[in-house]
Amino acid sequence: MEAIDLRSDTVTLPTVEMRRAMADAELGDDVFNEDPTVGRLEEMAAGLMGQETSLFMPSGTMSNLVSVLSWCQRGDEILIGSEAHMFWNEVGGSSTVAGVTVRTVPNDINGKFQLNEVESAIRSRENIHFPPTALLCLENTHNRCGGAVLTPSETDQLVELAHKKDVRVHMDGARIFNAAVYLGIPARTLAENVDSVSFCISKGLGAPVGSLLCGSSAFIDRARKWRKMLGGGMRQVGVVASAGIVALGSMIERLADDHVTAKMLAHGLSLIPGIRFEQIDVQTNIVIFEWLGENTIQFLSSLSRNGVKASFVGGTKIRMVTHAGIEPWHIEEALRIIRKTSDQVLEVKV
């Protein structure tokens, strides 16, 4: 049997319908803004996010970096969560490429900010000793905080605060549709009041590649030039944009299935010796837990040899992500393997 791959929802493969759409896609040169399939995807994405327009990007990482470049001047400061993907997993692009100072605000266990902590972190443009705060970056769902969801009211409070201080707000919404499905609301309700939002089609939605960056026409005009500078200008990219159209049209509601299997996984893990949860509730498709035995890396290696792949978060933390192609029987089998591996490792330790 093939390994049960729970490392990420990025391991999903395009559906048969996506592959057919890719073969039949109408194409043009997207750098010249002439690919009609890309145009349809961008219009669809903007509508779903409640934004004026959007831009097809190679990845979520590039979308987030381009957002920083488009909102900030060199020497500005951005505020970002202490556990944010942009801070941990995007190679320091904001500071290295965009030339901004990155200041972290504490995320709690559910990925939330305290309003007073955000307010106290915002620095004035009038004080010559400070880098001026230009951008507040949010994340929904929150990757390193177990797929936790920001509600519309939580987002809107942060947006209102930031705008009062003349600070723009970008949302890393890589898995925003998971949040929308969990809350039972349209995704646009989560994003329409932020200044820009990005989301991925290559994770739970199952498309092979790509992210959409959404915002005002003026913002997207700036973003298009930064995309070109970073080497993200793509040519007949309607081939993969066509898969994104299928993904947005047919793969959103099925994310609820991934939330069910994630809860099933979390419950089973909680009964296995050597495993501990900090987070009480698994809301979407990401499960993060602690391994209490010795050497987390070796435990992950043992799991992989036995047929279950997972991701190392850091320290004692492990991440597992459910996605299209992971059925309840996969979870049952994964739990059997994890329990067996845990028993073996803990027995050797004793």
Quick one: what percent of the chain has pLDDT higher than 70?
Answer: 99
Domains of the chain: 17-250 (3.40.640.10), 254-349 (3.90.1150.10)
* Interior/surface letters 238-250, b for 16+ CB within 10 angstroms, e for the rest: bbbbbbbbbbbee
Q: What is the rounded CA–CA span in Å between residue 12 and residue 205? A: 8
| Predicted confidence band of residue 278 (pLDDT cuts 50, 70, 90) | confident
Whether 286 contacts 117, CB under 8 Å: no
What's the whole-number mean pLDDT along residues 277-299?
A: 92
The pLDDT of residue 347 is: 65
Segment 238-251 mean pLDDT: 97
The pLDDT of residue 126: 85
Kindly report the number of other CB atoms within 10 A of residue 323's CB atom. 23
Is the model's pLDDT at 348 over the cut of 60? Answer: no
The answer to whether residue 350 scores a pLDDT higher than 60 is no
Q: Rounded to whole angstroms, what are the CA distances from 173 to 61, 137, 256, 265?
A: 11, 10, 17, 24
Distance from CA of residue 287 to its chain's centroid?
A: 14
Give the pTM. 0.95
CA separation for the pair 90, 101 (Å, rounded): 15
pLDDT at 283 over 50: yes
Q: Where are the alpha helices (DSSP H) in the chain?
A: 16-24, 36-49, 60-71, 85-88, 93-96, 115-121, 152-164, 176-183, 188-191, 217-229, 238-250, 255-270, 296-306, 328-349
Interval 306-317 mean pLDDT: 96
